[in-house]
Amino acid sequence: MTRRAVRWLAGVAALAVLLAYPSLFGIYFTNSFVTFGIFALYAVSFNLLLGFTGLLSFGHAMFFGAGGYGTALALTHLKGLPLLPALALGVAAALALGVLLAPLMVRISGTAFAMLHLAFGQLMYVLALKLRTITGGEDGIGGFPIPPFSVPGVLSVDMKTPANFYYFAVAVLGFSVFALWFVTKTPFGCVMVGVRDNPNRVAYLGFRVPHTKAVVYLLAAGSAGVAGSVFAMFQNLVSADGALHVFVSFAPVQLTMIGGVGSFFGPILGSAIFGVISELTSRYTERVELVSGAILILVIMYAPLGVIGMWHAARARARARFAPRGAAEPAR
Amino acid sequence: MNVLETRDLSHDFDGLQVLSHVELGVRRGERHAIIGPNGAGKTTLFNIVTGTYTPRGGRVLFRGQDVTGAGPHALVRLGMGRSFQITSTFSRLSTFENIRMGILGRRGIRFNLLRRVAAMPDVTREAEEVLRRINLTAERDLPASLLSYGKHRALEISLAMTTDPELVLLDEPTAGMSRDETKTAVELIRRLTEGRTVVIIEHDMDVVFSLADRITVLHHGEILATGAPEEIKANRAVKDAYLGD
């Protein structure tokens, strides 16, 4: 069988599992999977900045939160708003915040980038707490209607059924992850990685570094907004602590570190591992953070490139051992 | 006609004067060497001409156009290319990906998010052609950081040439090279810069005298002399300041 056929079959099998998942595993694990998907997209959008462009953000939650609040506010105040426009308004809110910050953020990097994001992230958190009339303060915004997925005159699918929402979420999140993956394979993706490795050289090949960063920034903001918007609809609640807290900003850092910062799929794997760990530990103790924190420390100490980095290193070692002398390939 | 000209160029770093009233003229098609002792202001001159710094005084003209204060990306698009004294490649990317970045720059493919780069056979072919010309085909998939020093420098120099510049500024292209590596590098420079105007900063006098059509001597931020290699060799002031007897 050719490599292509194998991939094709794997794709079909994965799709079949995804389709059958709700009936196979029941409501509880269906909802766990949606949570995993939301955080996977959120972490991938974060890693577009860190892993691909070399920009570490400590305030990525503000885009996640903007997506969530945007959708929640839209559904609360606009009567009869359909599902997809509600999602789009959440993404638009995240993008608007991105457009607002980009002119400053694309001109800085390193520690300044990380700390300014921490600062703006905290500002958004405090604003969400203080602007009670709009955001509901500590209570957040909840109980807004979740419209059905409808094509007028053709079909209308109720989104309050967990399985139905699962299909909607998986489609939206899956498409977003695919779109971001595709971007990393385009010429623009090459330039992005160039900015990470050597921004000065990128400029001396005729590219405008700030403009390139701005596009990445908006992609990251918008896709974090998608994740946040789906999160708000999934929970039927958005709150400062749930969507804008500094822990929400640190979550993708952790997921990316565990999975592997050097790879597109690292953050997704990290989200899966983290999901399983917190599921298992929560059966025995409420101190889930204690366990996941300890694991993070171990990963940083012994596998700084995450699980995927560990896998690559192991494969390179195996190759070096079994390859004829002098024919060892360098690790990539 | 001068491709590159500086008029009354002056620059200082917090009061430390590094360039004073520099009037450089580089003719179309020539190979122009800039020599001078360490701290003479050679690299600063490069940094100003290529847009890293904006000069405190004076103007830079490229192809007759005032480009003072223009950024690197704008100057590259106008036809300027530059290599660095300290190798400046994409160290984690393969040799091929390094060159491809330059090809994308030359073709102005800057914001294409809709097509896979692997599905652009023209770009791939052109990058592989460059690799062949600089003898790095065998190292195609090796990360730049794993190249030998000489080959890494060759990549650095060719990267400056991938955007097909009319004017190339090479900052000590043979720095740190062995005799043999230097010979290969000079050959490569000769080959790659054919039909282009070259400004080269160089300390190796053999390289300077074998490559350059004209030489400018910079000393304490001022131009001491400009002329053909023989004139420079014979120049009293240059001997005293730099070359010795």
Cβ–Cβ gap A187/B120 under 8 Å: yes
Q: Which of B134, B133, B129, B142 is nearest to B100 (CA)?
A: B129
Taking an 8 Å cut-off on Cβ atoms, the answer to whether B73 and A203 are in contact is yes
What ipTM goes with this model?
0.94
Task: Indicate the residue of B72, B91, B117 with minimum beta-carbon distance to A197.
Answer: B91
pTM of the model: 0.92
Indicate the residue of B90, B104, B162 with minimum beta-carbon distance to A197: B90
Q: Determine the pLDDT at residue A327.
A: 46
Proportion of chain B in helix, strand, coil states, percent, rounded to 5:
40, 25, 35
In chain A, which residues have their Cβ closer than 8 Å to the Cβ of B100? 190
For the record, the structure tokens of A46 come out as 């974060």
**pLDDT, position A332:** 45
- Provide the number of CB pairs (under 8 Å) joining chain A to chain B: 101
Q: Is A37 on the interface with B (CB under 8 A)?
A: no
Residues 124-143 of B with CB under 8 A from A: 141-143
The CATH code belonging to domain B2-243 is: 3.40.50.300
Between CA B129 and CA B137 the distance in angstroms is: 9
User: Contact A204/B76, CB-based, under 8 Å?
Assistant: yes
Report CA-CA distances (Å) from B66 to A204, B3, B41, B70, B82.
19, 12, 22, 9, 19
> Once rounded to an integer, what is the mean pLDDT over residues B92-108?
96
Q: Which two three-digit tokens encode residue A319?
A: 């190759």
Q: What is the Cα–Cα distance from A204 to B46, expressed in whole angstroms?
A: 13
CA B127, CA B162: separation in Å to the nearest integer?
9
Per-residue model confidence (pLDDT) at position B75 = 96
Which of B83, B111, B164 to mutate to probe the A interface, most A CBs <10 Å?
Answer: B111
Residue with more model confidence, B97 or A3:
B97
Q: How far apart are CA A265 and CA A289, in angstroms?
A: 23
Cβ pair A185:B90 closer than 8 A: no
- Higher-confidence position of A179 and B239: A179
- In this complex, the residue of B76, B113, B141 whose CB is nearest that of residue A188 is B113
Residue B166 Cα, gap to closest chain A Cα (Å): 14
Question: Which band of pLDDT confidence, cut at 50, 70 and 90, is reported for residue A288?
Answer: confident
Range A106-139 burial, b when 16+ CB lie within 10 A, else e: beebeeebbebbbebbbebbeebbeeeeebbeee
Q: What is the mean pLDDT of residues A92-112?
A: 96
**B100/B159 Cα distance (integer angstroms):** 9
**B141 pLDDT tier (thresholds 50, 70, 90):** very high
Q: Is the pLDDT of residue A15 over 80?
A: yes
> By the 8 A CB rule, do A121 and A62 touch?
yes
pLDDT-based confidence at A1, cuts 50/70/90? low
Tell me how far apart the alpha carbons of residues A202 and A7 are, in angstroms, rounded to a whole number.
Answer: 34
**d(Cα A197, Cα A202) in Å, to the nearest integer?**
9
Of A197, A200, A206, the CB nearest to B105: A206
Decide if B201 contacts B43 (C-beta within 8 A): yes
**pLDDT of A173-199, one tens digit each?**
999 999 999 999 999 999 999 999 999
